[in-house]
Amino acid sequence: MEKLLKMASDQADQAEVFHLRKKTSPVNFYNWRQADILFRNLDEVSLRVIKNGRIGVVKGSATEDREWMVRTALMAAEVGPQVQFRFPSESSGECGARICDPALVSMDPGVMISDGQAIYDQVRRRYPELPLNLYFDNEITDLTILNTSGKAEAYQKTQYTVCLMSMYENSKEGINKEITSCRYFTFPEDVIEELLGENRLSRVLVKVPTRKMPVLFRASSTWSLLYRILEGANGANKVRGVTPLKEKLDKPIFGSNITLIDDPTMDWAPGSTPFDDEGVPTRRKMIVDRGIFKQFIFDLDTGSRDGGGSTGNGIKRSMWTRGIEVNPNPRFNNLVLLSGDRSVAEMIAGMDEGLVVNDVIGFHSGNILQGHYSMNVGIGFYVRNGSVQGRAIDTMIAGNIYEDFHRVSGMSSRQDYNPVVYGPDLLIDSVSVSGTD
Amino acid sequence: MRTYLEEAIRHSDSDYADAMYEDTRQMTITFNKTDIQNVSNTVLKGGRVTVLDQGGYSGMSFTRAEDIRNALETAVRGARTVSKFDCTNRLLPAPVIVDEVKPGTGIDPAGISFDEKVALAREYIGIVLEVPNIFTSYGGYTETFTRKTYVNSEGTRIVQDVSLCFFSCRMIAREGNRTESMGVSVGFDSDYARLLNRHDHIRQRAMLCSDLLKARPVSPGVYTIVADQDLSGVFIHEAFGHLSEADDTINNKSLQKMLFMGRRMGCDRLNIVDQGNLSGASGYYVYDDEGVRASRTYLVKDGILTGRLHSRLSAAQLDGQLTGNYRAADYRFMPVVRMSNIYIENGGTPFEEMVDSIRSGLYLCGGKGGQTMGDLFTFGAQYGFEIENGKLGRMVKDINISGNVFDTLKSILKVGTDLRMNEGGGCGKTRAALFDMQMLDKSGTGGPSIQIKDVVIGGE
């Protein structure tokens, strides 16, 4: 990688090499009987060069011909966009968070097979007929960044994921529970019990009336709402002038009980890192402080266009590709929604009438930038007089987070990960629900 | 490469092994308005082996070609580890194939200069930006060239050259504080000619996006609708197609019971086909990722459920046929069973007649995302028009459609005569968990206009 940087720096004004190595071993169990493993050993690199104020990029498998990479990046820079930033030189110092578990680095895949077997054994005692898939993955990432400003840093990170997916009768879907951490864990028995309990409650199907009612978004579903703030606070959307938050800095956008922090210093959090994918040191920062919008997130390019520089949120990876994305995008490192002091049981018991939403379908519907949502309730429960009546069918919920998050009346003390946020279950007082009863 | 893979496979100590190696070059030119924002070049080289041993199934993806021996050994160990839990895997026999596949006829994008591609994209973006209220756009031109080499221990040896080029952009219209966005894409084929002379189509999309600012939100309710070709394609892909993918059906007895062959799904006029070898469609391919030839599979024939999509593994388990649908996004993923080009065949009712027969309803156009949960589906329509007394009326927006696939298929009253495949693709599917989602560009959908009664429309 040093050779690649040297070759590029001989011909360009600035250069950056980003090297990602990933070893994963996902184990899939299909419904008690079937299983498979796909090992991955991936090695990818991207090169960015800046010449005469213009940037060019190329990425590829790490085995690719260095000369070709440099030549292609320089060609891209000839017609590439003008940029005003320098690659960072600031040292990231010690990573504030523990993100690598040696037990995972040396783990044999047989452990996942026997852990999977153990989960099946626990479920079998209670529900031998329950269709249930399991997914385990042990991912070890080695990431290195080198640039011509003198940055040469690396980190190793582990990420362990276990997911249980039950399926309803006549369906491919059902209650899911998933946990991910940088540290090895055995799947907690109480979460398995919760899955079995919710599965039992789902056997009764109930129709839901159309009116406004309290909705308890379980931690597994809040990401569909918070995805809107991810777009709203994205500095690229500010630079483009399309986010409604551009006028809202230091103004209230949510109720005063909502605090969102981007915290890359949290121990064992999958989003914790010492520096982002452009080498900018990450830091803990307030996004929404007791309802007040505090800051946008930027990568080097959007930060320089906006004037304030990068916030350490330039991410070059996407969940879907497993490798390197060509261009960085402002993304949260580890978004945390601060928890409350209630329990799920207590919040359900306090509802005269309401809905519990575990999972939604169609999170991308509605005008996302404006905060609208209109989603089908995938897995949800209808509550009357403080008790769950059964699984809510044919139910839709709609609203706008910039209005609804002023009416959050309860949050659980427990936090969980979902694809966007580490946060609690969230009770919103009055949400438009449309059903068929 | 082929000989190298064959040599490695020959040494594999397993009941069955296959190996593939992929060399992909992709270039994307993205624009912010008409300025070049980025030219990104990607080279992805890597391979994957899969192994069956003692009934256990495993695989390994790797980047360095010299790692193939190690990958095979690791996969064999993996298969034996898994076989302690599951030793039931076997493959349905498949013909041994030796073949080389080149892209179809037409203009090879590799022969077009960079400047010409930039000029064309700029021209199209210029058209978009000229339309009143269109405030910005981003998107551009993408081309991909892939050489896939595949061998297996049964003697199959295939080299496939696949290329793809397309122009796509997302535009944003703004008036005051309100914004609307819409996408347009053309091409999705190996033939560059498909990108040329598309000015009118692109202008029309931009005008629709601008018109959306003035459209009113649809009133939620239950309607008789006419879905245009794009929407009927999205519907059949999302709501029905995913249920036809047999890998999810294995071991799920209730799903097998629900989707029994011979079940009536809709009216006699309803025929649903998945066809990988549909030339010119965006999901076209010749061989899938286990060397099985792509085919034409009737999923529903004359309203009756008649088929499923299979891998060799799922076909062996479920007593099915080879359909050639085992596909991976790239070498970094294990293949899954997935649709190629799914569409509804033409029926017999012209579009005008469908609209004419509706006293009060909606004409809905374009799919906007979509998701299914078993037999439930939801997705948006990009825009629509009210139908009053058989005439198209005011434009509506913010349209969300949801329902149960079986009820909705049975509610299809009329099937049109104007079948068209979409230009574009993109489908996400997970093996078992969201974490393992793989996005696939090459996935086609289509259909004629269809009339459906009792459709639940939610507003936003």
Q: Minimal Cα distance from B78: which residue of A? A: A37
In this structure, how many other beta carbons lie within 10 angstroms of the beta carbon of residue B217?
Answer: 11
**pLDDT of A172 over the 80 cut:** no
Domain boundaries of chain B, sorted by first residue: 2-214, 217-458
Backbone torsions φ then ψ of B167, nearest 5 degrees? -110, 135
pLDDT (0 to 100) of residue A81: 87
Is the CB of A31 less than 8 angstroms away from the CB of B45? no
Going by pLDDT thresholds of 50, 70 and 90, the confidence category of residue B13 is confident
Residue B380 has pLDDT above 90, yes or no: no
Instruction: Say if pTM beats, i.e. exceeds, 0.90.
Output: no
CA angle B132, B133, B134 (to 5 degrees): 95
- For the cut 90, the answer to whether the pLDDT of residue B275 exceeds it is yes
Using the Cβ of B219 and the Cβ atoms of chain A, whether some distance falls under 8 Å is answered with: no
Q: Which residue type does A263 have?
A: D
Q: Is B119 on the interface with A (CB under 8 A)?
A: no
Q: How far apart are CA A267 and CA A347, in angstroms?
A: 29
Average pLDDT over chain A, rounded to an integer: 91
Residues contacting A132, CB < 8 A, separation 6+: A31, A32, A120, A123, A164, A165, A166, A167
CATH of B2-214, one of 3.30.2290.10, 3.30.565.10, 3.40.50.300, 3.20.20.70: 3.30.2290.10
Distances in Å between the Cα of A29 and the Cα atoms of A190, A417, B436 are 21, 22, 13
CA-to-CA distance for A172 and B303, rounded, in angstroms?
23
**First and final C-alpha spacing in chain B:** 53
H helix or E strand, kind and range, residue B210: helix B199-212
> Could you please report the per-residue DSSP string of B107-169?
--GGGS-HHHHHHHHHHHHHHHHHSTTEEEEEEEEEEEEEEEEEEETTS-EEEEEEEEEEEEE
pLDDT band at A320 (very low <50, low <70, confident <90, very high): low
Q: What was the pLDDT predicted at A126?
A: 84
The reported pLDDT for the residue numbered A426 is: 97
pLDDT number for residue B163? 92
Token pair listed for B391: 């005439």
Q: Find all residues with CB under 8 Å of B205, minimum gap 6, and list them.
A: B128, B171, B182, B184
Q: Would an 8 Å CB–CB cutoff place A239 in contact with chain B?
A: no
- Chain B residues with CB under 8 Å of A419 CB are 434
**Mean pLDDT for the stretch of residues A196-216:** 93
B382-393 average pLDDT score:
96
| A51, A151, A280, B50 from A146: Cα distances, Å | 17, 5, 12, 35
Q: How confident is the model at residue B130 (pLDDT cuts 50, 70, 90)?
A: very high
Nearest to A173 among B118, B373, B398 (CB): B373
Who's near B138: CB < 8 A, 6+ residues apart?
Answer: A240, B30, B31, B32, B33, B37, B169, B170
Residue recorded with tokens 């309401």: A354
| Cβ-Cβ contacts under 8 Å, B138 against chain A | 240
What per-residue confidence (pLDDT) applies to B441?
66
pLDDT at A321: 58
Higher-scoring residue by pLDDT: B86, B60? B60
Lowest mean per-residue pLDDT among A323-332, A386-395, A417-426: A323-332
* CB-CB contact of B43 with B104 (8 Å): no
How would you classify residue A412: left for phi > 0, otherwise alpha for psi between -120 and 50, otherwise beta?
Answer: beta
Inter-residue contact A225 to A359 (CB < 8 Å) = no
H helices then E strands: how many in chain B? 9, 25
pLDDT classification of B33: cutoffs 50, 70, 90:
confident
Percent of chain B with pLDDT over 70: 95
Place of tokens 């990068």: A310
Q: pLDDT tens, B391-410?
A: 999 999 989 888 888 999 99
Shortest Cα–Cα distance, B435 to chain A (Å): 8
Which of the four pLDDT bands, split at 50, 70 and 90, describes residue A37? confident
Query: What band does B416 get if pLDDT is binned at 50, 70 and 90?
Result: very high
CA-based nearest distance A97→chain B, Å: 23
- Residue B253 reports pLDDT greater than 90: no
Which residues does chain B have within 8 Å of residue A36's beta carbon, measured at their own beta carbons?
56-59, 82, 86, 89, 334
Distance CA B312, CA B335 (A): 11
Q: Is residue A135 scored above 70 in pLDDT?
A: yes
Looking at the DSSP assignment, which residues form a beta bridge with residue A314?
Answer: A330
Amino acid at B459: G
Looking at per-residue confidence, does A425 or B332 come out higher? A425
> Residue B448's pLDDT band (boundaries 50, 70, 90)?
very high
* 8 Å CB contact of A374 and B458: yes
ipTM (interface predicted TM): 0.81
Q: How many other CB atoms are found less than 10 A from the CB of residue B222?
A: 12
Q: pLDDT tier at A340 (50, 70, 90 boundaries)? A: very high
By mean pLDDT, which of A212-226, B234-248, B356-370, B436-450 is the weakest?
Answer: B436-450
Nearest alpha carbon to residue B358 among B394, B395, B399, B388? B388
| Structure token pair of residue A11 | 């011909």
Closest partner residue to B179 (CB to CB) among A57, A135, A242 is A242
Distance CA A60, CA A80 (A): 19
Structure tokens at A330: 């402002």
Token output for A223? 């990401």
Please answer whether residues A428 and A217 qualify as being in contact, where contact means their C-beta atoms are separated by less than 8 angstroms.
yes
**Mutant choice from A171, A231, A299, A417 vs B, greatest count of B C-beta within 10 A:** A171
Q: What is the mean pLDDT of residues B56-79?
A: 92
Look at residues A301, A416, A333 and name the one whose alpha carbon lies nearest to residue A95. A333
Distance, CA of A93 to CA of B251 (rounded, Å): 51
Looking at residue A351, its pLDDT comes to: 97
Whole-number pLDDT of residue A327: 80
For the domain A2-198, what is the CATH code?
Answer: 3.30.2290.10
For residue A82, the chain B residues in CB contact (below 8 A) are: none
Indicate the residue type of A281.
P
* Residue B217: both structure tokens together: 């939100």
Query: Does any CB of chain A come closer than 8 Å to the CB of residue B36?
Result: yes
> Chain A, 50-79: which have a CB under 8 Å from a chain B CB?
55-64, 68, 72-73, 75-76, 79
- Does A168 contact chain B (CB < 8 Å)? yes
Question: How does pLDDT run across A234-278, given as a tens digit for each residue?
Answer: 999 999 888 999 999 999 999 999 999 999 999 999 899 999 999
Query: Which strands sit side by side in the sheet containing B420-421, from one edge to the other?
Result: B304-305, B296-301, B272-275, B341-344, B444-447, B420-421
Backbone angles phi, psi at A85, to 5 degrees: -105, 160
Taking residues A320-338, what's their average pLDDT? 82
pLDDT on residue A318: 67
- End-to-end alpha-carbon separation of chain A, Å? 63
Q: Report DSSP state, residue B362.
A: E
* Domain segments of chain A as ranges: 2-198, 204-437
3-state secondary structure string, A153-208? Answer: EEEEEEEEEEEEEECCCCCCCCCEEEEEECCCCCCCHHHHHHHHHHHHHCCCEEEC
Instruction: Choose among B42, B253, B403: nearest Cβ to A326.
Output: B42
Portion 273-302 of B in contact with A at CB < 8 A: none
Confidence of residue B86 (pLDDT cuts 50, 70, 90): confident
Q: What percent of chain B has pLDDT over 90?
A: 69
How would you classify residue A47: left for phi > 0, otherwise alpha for psi between -120 and 50, otherwise beta? beta
Q: Closest-CA residue in chain B for A80?
A: B38
Interface test with A, best of B18, B253, B373 (most A CBs within 10 A): B373
Residue B370: pLDDT above 70? no
Widest distance between CA atoms in chain A: 73
- In the structure, what pLDDT confidence band is assigned to residue B431 with cuts at 50, 70 and 90? low
**B221-227 and B360-373: which strand pairing?**
parallel
Q: Do A43 and B64 touch (CB under 8 A)?
A: yes
CA distance A93 to chain B (A): 31
Is the CB of A103 inside 8 Å of chain B's CB atoms?
no
Q: At what angle do helices B68-83 and B2-10 cross, to 10 degrees?
A: 40
Give the amino acid at A375. M
Q: Which residues pair with A48 in a beta bridge?
A: A16, A57
CA distance A20 to B407: 48
CB contact A396 to B (< 8 Å): yes
How far, rounded to the nearest angstrom, does the alpha carbon of residue B222 sit from its chain's CA centroid? 29
**pLDDT exceeds 60 at position A215:** yes
SS (H, E, C) B214-229: CCEECCCEEEEEEECH
Please check whether residue A78 is in contact with residue A71, taking contact to mean a CB–CB distance below 8 angstroms.
Answer: no
A127 touches chain B (CB under 8 A): no
Smallest Cβ–Cβ distance between A76 and the set B41, B373, B400 belongs to B41
Assess contact for A323 and A317: CB atoms under 8 A.
yes
Residues in chain A: 437
Estimate the crossing angle of helix A110-126 against helix B68-83, to 10 degrees: 30
**Residue indicated by tokens 């069918």:** A393
pLDDT for residue B434: 53
Q: Determine whether the interchain pair A365/B379 forms a contact, defined as Cβ–Cβ distance below 8 Å.
A: yes
What is the C-alpha to C-alpha distance for residues B112 and B40, in angstroms, rounded to an integer?
Answer: 17
What are the tokens at A44? Answer: 């990818």
Do the Cβ atoms of A170 and B431 come within 8 Å? no
Q: Tell me the pLDDT band of B113, cut-offs 50, 70 and 90.
A: very high
**Residue A322 scores a pLDDT above 70:** no
User: Would you call B346 exposed, middle or buried from its count of C-beta atoms within 10 A (0-12, 13-18, 19+)?
Assistant: middle
Helical residues (DSSP H) of B176-306, grouped into ranges: 199-212, 229-235, 253-258
Give the pLDDT band of residue B376 (cuts 50, 70, 90): confident
Q: What is the mean pLDDT of chain B?
A: 91
Shortest CA distance from B89: residue in chain A: A34
The region of weakest confidence among A115-119, A292-296, B248-252 is B248-252
pLDDT beyond 90 at B112: yes
Q: Which of B42, B57, B136 is the closest to A59 by Cβ?
A: B42
Cβ of residue B420 closer than 8 Å to a chain A Cβ = no
| C-alpha triplet A134, A140, A144: angle, nearest 5° | 150
**Pairing of β B304-305 and β A324-330:** unpaired
**Residue bearing tokens 């079937």:** A34
Which range has the worst mean pLDDT, A112-116, B44-48, B84-88, B301-305?
B84-88
Nearest CB to A31: which of B251, B374, B403?
B251
pLDDT at A19: 95
Once rounded to an integer, what is the mean pLDDT over residues A331-338? 95
